[in-house]
Amino acid sequence: MTQDYDVVIVGAGPAGLTAALALGGADRRTLLLDGGPPRNARATAAHNVFTRDGCAPTDLKTLGLRDLRPFGIQVMHAPAREARPLRDGFAIRHDGGWARVRRLLFASGVRDRLPHIPGLRERWGVTVHHCPYCDGWSNRDARLGVLGSHQEGHHLALNVRAWAEDVCLLTDGPDELTDEQRGDLQRIGIPVNTQPITRISGKDGVTVHFRNGKRLELDGLFLNPTQVQNSGLPAALSCELDARSRVTVNHNGMTSVRGIWAAGDMTGAPQYVTNAAASGMTAAVSLNTTLIHEDVRAQGAAFHKSPDEDPAVGVT
């Protein structure tokens, strides 16, 4: 079965839900494909979220979906599986068939790749964190470890130290720090432990087990994981990716492929709930503006601007 839409949004996280809200309010025939939980689903609370600070990520999503009810948005709890370019848009396959669509908005997020240390994954989002702005306040003045062996470990340790005095850097083997970075750490009292780690345990805190048989008791651990795209579809549609495999977009969320926008963590945008939501809004306004231009042109009206141009955000 094939259905026609103006827009298909791939992903119902903060970016996709905000875009859906804007496009629903603009009366666009929109399909929102919800492929699963948001990136922060394992966390008990999302912080720095305007008017909703401390709200559980799953509750944020429920509220976001509820906000869509007054509009004619079709929400399908199924992933986008395949996409193909058409002459005047795209075809996208989901579990219910194919959708033919004029514009595509990817908001499918990223997956964190954690180091292969037994016990780490189970504690991700609970006592193992990545961002002091998200989880620094609830860990202020706690005993904290930072896992990382080179520049990113140094950077994160310096940041985490702004929330707690008792911070150590764990490099899980030989470190790759420069003398300057070692000097920074020493200056603010961050010891560097290079012992290889065998596993992590602990219920309310984090017990780090080292290969030499020693243990370290911490209240929390921070690390900076690498990331991969949740969806391979933007790349399959030839959207340009940067050196870190993030989808390249301009200031309006347009990708390098005409008719495709991207928003949220999957782009180079700062990775926070409110930034993802803001970029979803920006992309929605931008792509809707191109649809308005296209519709006017289709009616034969004289219009000075081509729909292929990048329209300015804020068309009021």
Ligand X SMILES: Cc1cc2nc3c(=O)[nH]c(=O)nc-3n(C[C@H](O)[C@H](O)[C@H](O)COP(=O)(O)OP(=O)(O)OC[C@H]3O[C@@H](n4cnc5c(N)ncnc54)[C@H](O)[C@@H]3O)c2cc1C
Stretch that binds ligand X, among 11-19, 201-209, 237-245, 304-312 (CB under 6 A): 11-19
Q: Which of residues 14 and 311 has its CB atom nearest to ligand X in the complex?
A: 14
Selected from 22, 24, 30, 39, the binder of ligand X by CB under 6 A is 39
Q: Considering the complex, what minimum distance in angstroms separates the CB of residue 295 from ligand X? A: 27
The DSSP H or E segment spanning 103 is: strand 97-106
Distance CA 117, CA 79 (A): 30
Distance CA 16, CA 173 (A): 40
Distance CA 210, CA 224 (A): 20
Q: Kindly state whether residue 64 participates in binding ligand X, applying the rule CB under 6 A.
A: no
Tokens coding 92: 């996208």
Q: Which of residues 109 and 253 has its CB atom nearest to ligand X in the complex?
A: 109
Q: Kindly state whether residue 163 participates in binding ligand X, applying the rule CB under 6 A.
A: no
Q: Which of residues 234 and 307 has its CB atom nearest to ligand X in the complex?
A: 234
CA distance to 110, 261, 264, 288, per residue, from 295 (Å):
34, 19, 27, 10
Selected from 171, 227, 271, 289, the binder of ligand X by CB under 6 A is 271
Tokens coding 287: 């792509």
Q: Kindly state whether residue 283 participates in binding ligand X, applying the rule CB under 6 A.
A: no
Q: Kindly state whether residue 115 participates in binding ligand X, applying the rule CB under 6 A.
A: no
Distance CA 143, CA 93 (A): 48
Greatest CA separation found in the chain? 77
Selected from 3, 25, 29, 48, the binder of ligand X by CB under 6 A is 48
The DSSP H or E segment spanning 167 is: strand 167-170
- What's the CA angle centered on 262, arms 258 and 265, to 5 degrees? 155
Selected from 40, 127, 252, 290, the binder of ligand X by CB under 6 A is 40
The residues, any chain, with a CB within 8 Å of residue 201's CB and separated by 6 or more, are: 119, 207, 209
Question: Is-contact 311 286, C-beta < 8 A?
Answer: yes
Q: Kindly state whether residue 148 participates in binding ligand X, applying the rule CB under 6 A.
A: no
Q: Considering the complex, what minimum distance in angstroms separates the CB of residue 154 from ligand X? A: 21
- Per DSSP, the three-state class of 221 is strand
Q: Which of residues 134 and 185 has its CB atom nearest to ligand X in the complex?
A: 134
Q: Which of residues 53 and 310 has its CB atom nearest to ligand X in the complex?
A: 53
- Chain positions 84 to 113 lying near ligand X, rule: CB under 6 A, are 107-109, 112
Q: Kindly state whether residue 139 participates in binding ligand X, applying the rule CB under 6 A.
A: no
Q: Kindly state whether residue 286 participates in binding ligand X, applying the rule CB under 6 A.
A: no
Whose tokens are 């992903």? That residue is 11
Question: Is-contact 290 260, C-beta < 8 A?
Answer: no
Selected from 272, 278, 287, 293, the binder of ligand X by CB under 6 A is 272
Q: Kindly state whether residue 234 participates in binding ligand X, applying the rule CB under 6 A.
A: no
Q: Which of residues 55 and 164 has its CB atom nearest to ligand X in the complex?
A: 55
Q: Give contact residues for ligand X (rule: CB under 6 A).
A: 10-16, 33-40, 42-43, 46-49, 79-80, 107-109, 112, 125, 134, 230-231, 264-265, 271-274, 276
